[in-house]
Structure 1
Amino acid sequence: MFKIPKEYIADLLLLSVTIFWGSTFIVVKRSIEIMPTFAFLSIRFWISTLLLVLIFHRKLKLLNKKTLRDGIILGVVLFLAYAFQTVALEYSKATIVGFLTGLNVIFTPILSAIIIRKIPTIYSQIGAVLAFVGMAMMSFNNFTPSFGDILAIICAIFVAIQIVLTDKYSRRNDTYLLTVIEIAVLAVLSTVVSVLREPYIIPHKISGYLIFSFLITAVFATVYAFVVQNTAQKYTTPTKTAIIFIMEPVFAAIFGYLLGNEVLTAKAYAGAFIMFIGLFISELGPLVIKR
């Protein structure tokens, strides 16, 4: 009987995460037009934290200082990524922010080699280059990035750091506890920033769209996504994770078109195709050569 390697199962699960993340760009952009940015993030992550605690409450008694420390570090890095990304959405199109966030595919191999001394395979390197070329074709029409574009690029750097640190910390901690702490830190920091710079946290009127938005972002794009990421990354590499996550802007473009009527050019679609080729080379290159 043919047995699928754990690495490929992990990669498929990570790809499912990118679908949920890609769908949230246009949803979040519309939501922060209704309520303050960090107020939205605060409610989203508190809902996620509550769900995680309810699901994994029996594991909390196993929490130790090392897991707490690693979870806090991941939470702070991830908060910075979300903060820069969400504020970028105030100044740029959801599709463009999604593409620029994908720059982490270039930063991740570099940081992986520096931080955890893990050199990506030649297939992952080729895949990363192709993913970057495809992303550039989808993103750039000129060389004058806006303020929102710059924030999105900074976000990509923190995303890369989070991917590399998750690879390191997920191998030495209970991944479920790690996720609980990580998301709880997001909730706390979002609330602090909201209290300091925004007029309110709880919106005066909860619309049906906000309820839908919190459901999608808290349950699927946070609880499911980070439980999967923190668990699946034990069975794959940071560079492959980044290449898989580069599909996020592709799904952001799809949902941006379906939900926000954000239309792409022919060059952008060609770029998306090149990104898929890069993903396939990264995934299937070693298997083809082996056979």
Structure 2
Amino acid sequence: MSKRFLPEIVLISISFVWGITFVVVQDAIKDLPPYSFLAIRFFVAFLLLWLVNKLFIKQNVWNKAAILSGIGIGFFLFLGFGLQTFSLLYTTSGKSGFFTGMNVAFVPFVTLLFFQQRIKFPTLIGILCSVIGLYFLSGSIVGMNLGDILALGCAVAFAIQIALTGQYTKKLATYPFVIWQLLTVTVCSGILAAFYESFHPTVLLRPTVWTAVLVTSAFATVFAFVGQTLVQKQISSARVAIIFTLEPVFAALGDYLVNEITLSGIELIGCSSIIIGIILAEIPWKIRKKESVVTLDLD
């Protein structure tokens, strides 16, 4: 297979893993409190990636720039996953997935705030479509439940994480950069879990819990964030965000296959409008004369 489409294939695979694991996480946090789940998940992922780097990759994890950038971006990653996981206590995995997918509509505002990049008119049209979709999906903006609001906050945090990753990944070694992000999420989640949550250790022996921890640690965390960081060395944050709009589609699919939860006609219209909106937010409207070939550099 040509390497031309390798970055896109990696991002589609990440979107699939994130979308499908919405249901897995939702089942797990019925037994294990959300921040405890996040702390354990990201700690296992941290250990896995640390070992892979130490045994095979051997990149310097004590690089000062990687530490500072990893901790800073890791905090927004913590906010994103913390709000996302907590939202699953109050809304369906399909709806949480759709609201989380709105992060692509926020990416232009993040790049404007941090990097003074102008917001294009097509982006504003895309955002309008997304807002209309939210109205149809939730019934009304006022009537949104707590889970939907938490998922929207998650979208903002993920938008910041995507934009900052695109800015710093070209300057840093991939594995130390991601390792410090994972450790930051572990520590932040662990602090909240220690103060506000409690659970019996035997809960970790339940199949729904340990299966969710292993699957999300290996695939939805290590594979996902190493893959995202490698890809963002090659292509723009906007393209990454556009492809990540597939995540809520996979989330709704997983919700249907596992929980047999279907969306109404109006909700389907809302979902369609959101997807159209987040695509229009960053899609290039100019036809390029020649498309450059992109490969995935495994540095």
Structure 1 residue 45, shift from structure 2 partner = 0.8
TM-score, length of structure 1 as denominator length: 0.87
Query: Is 1:134–1:270's contact at 8 Å kept on the other side of the alignment?
Result: no
1:132 aligned partner, one-letter code: S
Partner of 1:169: 168
Partners in 2 of 1:201 and 1:118 — Cα distance?
Answer: 49
Is the counterpart of residue 85 in structure 1 residue 88 in structure 2? no
Structure 1 residue 219, shift from structure 2 partner = 0.7
TM-score, length of structure 2 as denominator length: 0.84
Partners in 1 of 2:249 and 2:243 — Cα distance?
Answer: 11
Partner of 2:13: 16
Partners in 2 of 1:62 and 1:92 — Cα distance?
Answer: 38
Partners in 1 of 2:130 and 2:253 — Cα distance?
Answer: 19
Partner of 2:23: 26
Partners in 1 of 2:8 and 2:136 — Cα distance?
Answer: 24
Structure 1 residue 139, shift from structure 2 partner = 2.7
Partner of 1:185: 184
Partners in 2 of 1:213 and 1:267 — Cα distance?
Answer: 32
Q: 1:38 aligns with which of 35, 38, 43?
A: 35
After superposition, residues 9-158 of structure 1 pair within 5 angstroms as 9-57=6-54, 58-61=57-60, 63-119=62-118, 125=123, 128-129=126-127, 132=130, 135-136=133-134, 139-143=137-141, 144-158=143-157
Query: Is 1:71–1:182's contact at 8 Å kept on the other side of the alignment?
Result: yes
Structure 1 residue 196, shift from structure 2 partner = 1.2
Distance of aligned partners of 1:265 and 1:173 in 2 relative to their CA distance in 1, 3 Å threshold: same
Partners in 1 of 2:85 and 2:249 — Cα distance?
Answer: 18
Distance of aligned partners of 1:16 and 1:3 in 2 relative to their CA distance in 1, 3 Å threshold: closer
Distance of aligned partners of 1:97 and 1:167 in 2 relative to their CA distance in 1, 3 Å threshold: same
SS in 2 for 1:290: coil
Distance of aligned partners of 1:267 and 1:11 in 2 relative to their CA distance in 1, 3 Å threshold: farther
Distance of aligned partners of 1:191 and 1:163 in 2 relative to their CA distance in 1, 3 Å threshold: same
Query: Is 1:99–1:135's contact at 8 Å kept on the other side of the alignment?
Result: no
Q: Once structures 1 and 2 are overlaid, which stretch shifts more, 108-117 or 137-146?
A: 137-146
1:38 aligned partner, one-letter code: Y
Partners in 2 of 1:116 and 1:278 — Cα distance?
Answer: 23
Partner of 2:251: 252
CA deviations on 1:148-188 (whole Å, 9 max, x unpaired) are 22111111111111111111111110112111111111112
Q: Once structures 1 and 2 are overlaid, which stretch shifts more, 189-198 or 207-216?
A: 207-216
CA deviations on 1:6-53 (whole Å, 9 max, x unpaired) are xx5323311211111001111111111011111111111111011101
Q: Which portions of structure 1, spanning 4 or more consecutive aligned residues, are displaced by more than 4 angstroms?
A: 2-5, 119-123, 126-131, 270-286
- After superposition, the CA RMSD in angstroms is 2.8
Partner of 1:265: 264
Partner of 1:211: 210
Q: Once structures 1 and 2 are overlaid, which stretch shifts more, 191-200 or 67-76?
A: 191-200
Partners in 2 of 1:214 and 1:274 — Cα distance?
Answer: 33
List runs of 5+ in structure 2 lacking aligned partners.
Answer: 291-299
Bigger proportion of residues as helix: 1
Partners in 1 of 2:179 and 2:112 — Cα distance?
Answer: 28
1:226 aligned partner, one-letter code: F
Partners in 2 of 1:71 and 1:265 — Cα distance?
Answer: 41
Q: Once structures 1 and 2 are overlaid, which stretch shifts more, 12-21 or 67-76?
A: 12-21
Distance of aligned partners of 1:170 and 1:134 in 2 relative to their CA distance in 1, 3 Å threshold: farther
Partners in 2 of 1:47 and 1:134 — Cα distance?
Answer: 40
Partners in 1 of 2:119 and 2:235 — Cα distance?
Answer: 11
1:142 aligned partner, one-letter code: S
CA deviations on 1:250-283 (whole Å, 9 max, x unpaired) are 1110001001111112344445555666787766
Partners in 2 of 1:73 and 1:218 — Cα distance?
Answer: 21
2:230 aligned partner, one-letter code: T
Query: Is 2:42–2:186's contact at 8 Å kept on the other side of the alignment?
Result: yes
Structure 1 residue 3, shift from structure 2 partner = 6.3
Partner of 2:197: 198
List runs of 5+ in structure 1 lacking aligned partners.
Answer: none
Query: Is 1:32–1:40's contact at 8 Å kept on the other side of the alignment?
Result: yes
Structure 1 residue 231, shift from structure 2 partner = 1.1
